[in-house]
Chains A and B, each alone.
Chain A
Amino acid sequence: MTVDLETVKRVAKLSRIALDDARAEKMQGDLNGILGFVEQLNEVDVEGVEPMTSVVQMEMRKRADKVTDGDKADDVTANAPASEDHFFMVPKVIE
């Protein structure tokens, strides 16, 4: 399978990566190279094989359903490029 330029731009949009035409073209070549490389997986007979979900067979560890952490609004927003009163500031979303 190969991707056309339009698909590359759609995937860039889904990835939230701005891509101008020149870079989109370069990316198309790179992606097709990688997709060509992984194509060999089609040779493998996977009939009846379960997809792997975890390399180590173990039961998901559970913990008691209680609060173990909190009151860290300062810490959480400390690294934000823009914050005010423990809120992350972003460009206007709704007019």
Chain B
Amino acid sequence: MSELTNLTIAEAREKLLAKEITAVELTDSYLKAIDAANETFNAYVEVTPDNARKWAAISDEKIAKGEAGDLEGVPVGIKDLFGTEGVHTQACSHILDGFKPRYESTVTQNMWDDGAVMLGKLNMDEFAMGSSNETSYYGAVKNPWKAEGDDTALVPGGSSGGSAAAVAAHLCAGATATDTGGSIRQPAAFTGTVGIKPTYGRCSRWGIVAFASSLDQAGPIARDVRDAAILLKSMASVDPKDTTSVDLPVPDYETAIGKSVKGMKIGIPKEYRVDGMPAEIEALWQQGIEWYKSAGAEIVDISLPHTKYALPAYYIVAPAEASSNLARYDGVKYGLRMTGDDITDMYEKTRSEGFGDEVQRRIMIGTYVLSSGYYDAYYLRAQKVRTLIKRDFEDVFNAGVDAILTPSTPSSAFAIGDTEMASDPIKMYLQDIFTVAVNMAGLPGISVPAGLDGKGLPLGLQLIGKPFEEETLFQASQVIEDAAGRFTPSKWW
């Protein structure tokens, strides 16, 4: 029965509706795969088999009655950042020990309304702060990919490392993820999967543990472009509970797939050609350009002059927002509490014990840049730079560019416990160099697997679109998938 886990969502949907397979069989196959492999990958921090079987049985009833939703019977994994009623929701932090929300996030509720089946909660960097999944209180996640002839365990990227690893290892049909600076697209690139961060405001943030509220967006990680389109259609909605949710109908993204890109203008930003970029990434980018040329698209050289300032501006804006959002974890309302001599001592000990090093660093940076006397020099300046970054994109789109093609990451997956990364936080931050400007400007971005590097590890290309033109991204990224093919790790587990 294990071959059922090889089905894409689109394929599973067809077989379920044709009653060739049942949702219970499909769910059981995934639960069996998780049982066999989760100890190896550490992708799930909580598995919910009883609920999954119960929901799958309901899906089978709905299919029998002809009442199937768009994701009926599709087994999915949920990043630990999404509030799931009565189920482990801890942002993979020690400080949220034992937290089980009494509510359901809008995004996951949308998926359950469409018939999806939850398999469990997925590992991630603590509070989504990290690019390797190593800051998780629950430990690192292993990438299903290994370099050829090398047994070193690699990171799956982060922060949505559990989501990406679970999708790549076929431990779920698809997964939810979130992206504040690259947390969907970088892990997707590292694992040979497709990940899309939609336009800010497309998916409701209600019920998702907040990191940096002006940048956070939910999106899917999936095995191919079509599955990503199917998942995003279900996840996205207009939500009165999130005031930044944008009042625009959600299109049927799947219909965009397969449309020709003839005449489409694809911009190639010169600022993304950074010093020290590996030659194979440069070559892959060039390969992408050739694929679009062959498909009839027009390639135009563009400039996004403030690109290099996106990452430093992000490391002011995101920590500032995080320091404010994470003020609520104080040992009073939920999670961990340490005992102290008085209430302040209790707060300080709880937060010192409950937050990991990276989270503490960011809270401190955020507190410092917002503190009296420094606000203008840091935060206000960063917000002005952000305006300039967004203007760069607007200028390019106003000049007729439909989408922008860049590499997704400056490297392929690196080793767990990489000493260079561990000794210098900035090195890790640079992982987001190609993805972070998209968050700063609120734009949609998708990472699609485009090839393997010399070590046999997957690399991705990123497409950046205009606000709320996710359809263009699905349409255009299918060109890469068609040309590059799909990438599945050879099974060693």
Contacts and interface: CB of A to CB of B under 8 A. Distances in A.
- Chain A partners chain B: yes
Interface of A: 1, 3, 7-8, 11-19, 27, 30-31, 33-35, 37-44, 46, 49-56, 58, 60-61, 63, 72, 75, 78-82, 88, 90-93
Contacts of B345: 18
A72 B363 CA distance: 31
Given A41-B312, A55-B442, A91-B343, A18 B387 contact: no
Contacts of B348: 13, 16-18
A79 to B, nearest CB: 4
Interface size class of B (residues with CB under 8 A): 35 or more
Contacts, number: 166
A16 B306 contact: no
5 contacts: A14-B367, A15-B360, A79-B335, A91-B343, A93-B343
B365 A81 contact: no
A53 B387 CA distance: 9
A32 to B, nearest CB: 11
Given A16-B344, A41-B382, A34 B315 contact: yes
A33 B315 CA distance: 12
A49 B332 CA distance: 41
Given A46-B381, A51-B383, A82-B337, A34 B342 contact: no
B388 interface: yes
Contacts of A41: 309, 312-313, 316, 381-382, 385
A51 B367 contact: no
A72 B339 CA distance: 28
Contact of B306 (A14, A37, A44): A44
A82 B337 CA distance: 9
**Shortest 8 CB-CB contacts between residues of A and residues of B:** A55-B442, A51-B383, A79-B334, A75-B102, A81-B337, A18-B352, A18-B348, A46-B384
Contacts of B390: 52, 55
A14 to B, nearest CB: 5
Nearest to B383: A51
